[in-house]
Amino acid sequence: MLSKNQHKLITSLQQKKYRIKHQLFVVEGIKAVNEFLSSTMQLEKLFCVENYYSVISKYEPQLISENELQKISTLFTPNKVLGLFKMPKPADFVDKGLILVLDSINDPGNLGTIIRLCDWFGVSQLVCSLHTVDCYNSKVVQATMGSLSRVSVVYTDLERYLKKIELPIYGAAMNGTTIYNTTLKKNAILVMGNEANGISSNIEKVLTQKITIPRFGENSNAESLNVATATAILLNEFRRS
């Protein structure tokens, strides 16, 4: 049975202030939980329904009913298992390779997808502004499909960080040089801006170069690409070059 205190703790972790207070976050679903169990992330507690107990019995999960799982889950259709994991200590900043920087990304789905892209394209560190959505938000965790367990996500004052680092800084912008005519450095920073407003003016001032993805549809009325889609295209070009 799930105790009242356990129920209160798990549901409270839907709010950032309680995730910070308890240094815990929730992972749901078989695939995602298995990814985290196979990683260096530290497990705090595992909960599962009866017909999945034998699969993860070595982790000593607490058996709960389908109804109890429904009450603590953020998913429309809960998926057999829910895990509480400890937040890792903030990683040291890396100073080489390709580093992705996010300036005030608000949408959890976008951040989750971008973390998956970092995992796919071998970007080991994602640096986020203090105004970017929390990577331990349940919707972000779900959207990463386990990639959060392999990508270092760091939150910091972006302007101060970018002024200190000695790498070329490329920023995605509508008025930049086309990415297909740009020689991209192997060791570099790529900055992606807010969904509605792009890169903020104070960050724009420290960019080495603005780059853009040209639009080929002559009759298209699309004003811009989704930030996660644009990130995928740009990371592909960095790796291709």
Q: Do 58 and 111 share a structural domain? A: no
Q: Are residues 140 and 220 in the same domain?
A: yes
Residue tagged 């009866």 (tokens): 50
The total of structural domains in the chain comes to 2
pTM: 0.94
Q: What is the Cα–Cα distance from 100 to 188, expressed in whole angstroms?
A: 9
* Cα–Cα distance measured from residue 145 to residue 35, given in angstroms and rounded to the nearest whole number: 8
* Domain range enclosing 15: 4-86
CB distance 39 to 85 below 8 Å = no
How far apart CA 184 and CA 228 sit, in angstroms, is 20
The whole-angstrom separation of Cα 172 and Cα 210 is 6
| Predicted local confidence at residue 24, as pLDDT | 98
d(CA 138, CA 148): 12
43 shares its domain with 147: no
64 and 108, same domain (yes or no) = no
pLDDT average per 10 residues of sequence, the chain (241 residues): 96 98 97 95 96 92 95 92 96 95 98 98 97 97 96 97 96 95 95 96 97 86 89 97 81
Q: From the CB of residue 96, how many other CB atoms can be counted at a distance below 10 Å?
A: 10
| pLDDT computed for residue 1 by the predictor | 86
**Pair (234, 120) in one structural domain:** yes
Residues 199 and 134 in one domain: yes
Q: What is the pLDDT of residue 241?
A: 81
